[in-house]
Every structure is written in structure tokens, then in C-alpha cells.
Structure 1
């Protein structure tokens, strides 16, 4: 049994794709097939089935995966201990939505680079609806999402920080001076929305459209920064995280509307696949993320 065979099996179990595994490990697909076949012959069991283009672990494959994960983790730790410098090395692939990429992650990435200069950080900005899939397909080690708390059967989800949201308008907007609002006040208004599939876009619909607002004009953007700038010019009503608008609200450039948003909870969350091999460099990143982002 060879280490490279275990790494290939573990990667294939994460990506569920021979082609993506080959690309990740810089192999040709036939090499992946050969290594898995050799591992199965040595173990005397079938570890996976190919169903069309999808790879499915057999019962034996599921039972063997934790052992492969432990062996690979022990090897990585041994390499770390035996290295002369004792510094963490390796690669961590990170994904995040646009808001967290802009407002939460820069401080974390800078501090991690300063403390662990030999660890290579690869960052992939992804749309909200692609983040979880990137973990399931092995395209990212860890992702950060701004979303409602949820439980997943195959992904480890860790809540780091609650994120308040506000509806905001420019100071000269007709609703800016109102001390109270009813759903009728939103009739005919322009609303500035994030991309389809975004959790807080869906919440906007729940709080306005489903409560009876009608004749709304929707303007869609793929950037929270663009939504904020358009709201500041008086183009319409925006629903944005407090971290995005805090400075503008303090300076009076945006006005928070008196609309109750307490019924829903959003949070910055960190996710990785439950079968993910936690290397020392990955563990170091997780621990630092908890420290930097949880307060």
C-alpha cells in the first residue's frame, strides 16, 4: 500500500470524479484508475463504483476512508515534526462569497500569511450557490458563507459571528424621515437586490412581497458594494449586512429604516467537508479563523 494510492483514494472520495481527481493531483485519468485498482487488489475489496460520470463509495470504501484520512494526517504531522524549521507548510484552498471576501476575510488572510509564510493560500471567490458544491467536489478545502444557520449531513458547519442586517436608503429618500413604516409604505418602491439564490435576497422577498407589498421595481446586482453605492444615490431601498454599511450610516450617508428584521438570523459561517483530511496547515487556518472572525 502506497501513500500516493491513499491520497488518490481520499481525493477521489472528496471529488467523486476521476477527471477532477486527476486534475487536482496533476495525473492523467488512467493513473488514477490504476492506483485505485492496485489499492483495491491489495485490500481485497471494492472501494467504489462508477455510476455514469459519478463515483460512489461502496460500504467498504466508507469504512476504509477514516483510516486513509488518519494515515495521511499522521504522515503530514510527521513531516511537520521532522522538518528543521518546524514551520507549517502546504496549501489551503479557500472559497467565500463576495461580501465576506471584501469585509471579513482580508484581516484573516493577512494575519495567516504573516504567521505561516510557508503555507500557500489559494482563494476562490464564488457565488453563494456554488460554495457548498465546491466542497463536495473537492474544489475548495474550506468556505465562508453569510447565511441562515443550517445543518448539513455531509458538511461540517461552524457559526463564527452573528451578522445584523438593515434596510437602508439615502437621506433624501421619501422614507428616510419616517419613524415607523407599514407594508403599504413599500408599494411602488425600487428595491436593490443581490444575485438570485442569495439567502438575504430571499429574505427580502419574505419580508416585503409575502407580506403584501406590490408594484415593486427590482434592480439586481452581483455586488453588495454596487447595491450600497446605488442606495446612496437614492436609487432605491437596499437590504445589506451591517458590516457593509456601518461607516456610511455613521456618516449620515445612509439612513436605516425602522423595519423589524429580528425574525431571521444570519451569520458568518465556516464550512468544510466532514470527510476532509485535516492537515496541520488546514488545522492552523481553521483555528486562526475561529480566533479572528468569532468576535
Structure 2
């Protein structure tokens, strides 16, 4: 009794999902073997009453774009009818729609030996596209990691340099004060000359020496201010670079999740109506 119904549901499910899978922009990909090897166990078109109810719900959820809910129902079908022939193809498409790469490839490979020639052609097309997309995602992942690491290194280095400037700047100011104090001492010594007049040789010598000391003091003072203000600008640049490094790192994490086949959840799916869906990662 249920065998005919199971066969009809299987054909309907595969037909619906085949059409949608070719129209759905997937983000999954794979070329290397992932997950368990395809099963050689015999399949069946038989679908019992309990599994049939969940299969109907799964197809309805799929038509409504509720891929996560649809997958949950197919998992219930798998519990009640684990050898139902279209099962793994349906799970593969749903996994692909959610960005679960490893799961999608494993399910497609599980289904392929039991599919018709037309169905096997669809599976081969999906695996080929997934392979090319995996290459692109892997390349993007490497570039994002490199960019994030570079920005993070430069940012942390800039912050470290700014800290050094904040430490050295006040030391330069202290040295400027020391040179100023030395210049004042020399001026006092000039005032102790026998003839502390501007035109006297003794006074002029001390005055010239004091002027040289003040010149050195001004150099240290300027250097200290330069380090202080420069440190402020450098730390700002460092913070900006460090903050920016989070962006490619976040994108790299998303790419890694795609490569690893992690399900990102319902909130990542945006249904556009019909057979179109936007996957937001």
C-alpha cells in the first residue's frame, strides 16, 4: 500500500528539489572525498505511514523556503525509512542550500549509486559545481587570513611603537629640562665674572656656552613633543589597522565554516520567493 505512495513522493521530492537545486545559488563546494564512503546497501521505494507524513511536511517546508525545517523532517523520514531511495538526494540539496559542504557532498555520493541515469547526471553536475566553488572559497579563505594577519601585525606593531614613543617622549622632555638647568648654571657663572657686562670676554664666553646648552635643550623639547604627538597618531593608525583586521578575519571564519560544512542556522537564509534563495554568510 505504502510502496506506491513512497514511489510517488520520492519522484515528487526529487523532481521538485532537482529543479530548485539548479535554480538555487548555492555556496557549498567540494572536490575531495568528505564524510563516509557511499553505501552499497540496497534501497527501497517503500515508505511507511509515519515516514510518509514527515515526507509530506518536508516537501511543504521546502516549497516555502524553510530549508532547516525541511531537513529536520527528512531526518525524521530517515529514522522511519532509512533505505528510502530519494532520501539522501533530498538531504544533499538541503545541506547545500544551507552551506553545509561536507554533508552535501556525502549525501550526493550516498545517493548516486541508487539514482537513475538522469538523476546521476544532476548529481554529477552538482558535485562538479561544488568542486569549483570549493576552490574559490578556499582561495578566498587563504587571502582573507593573509590580509587579516598582515593588518593585525601592522596594527599591533604600530601600537607597540606608539607605546615606546610615549615612554621615550617624556624622557626627552626631562633631558631638555636638564639642559635648561645646565644653561642657567652657566649664566650664573657668567654673572660671577669680574666684569659681568655684555661686552666682557668672560661674560660673552659663558653666554655663548649657555646659548649652546639652550639650543640642545630646545632639540630635546621638540623631540619629546614630536614623540608625544606622533605616538598619538601612530596609536590611532594601529587601532584602525587592528580593528580592520577583524573584517577579513570574520570573512575567513565564514569561509572556513563553508569549507567545514557548518550549519549557520535559519537566520542566515533569506527566501526570495519561487525557487530562489539568498544565503547570507
Shorter-chain TM-score bucket reads under 0.3
**TM, length-normalised to structure 2:** 0.23
Could you say which structure has the higher strand fraction? 1
Q: Which has the larger radius of gyration?
A: 2
Could you say which structure has the higher helix fraction? 2
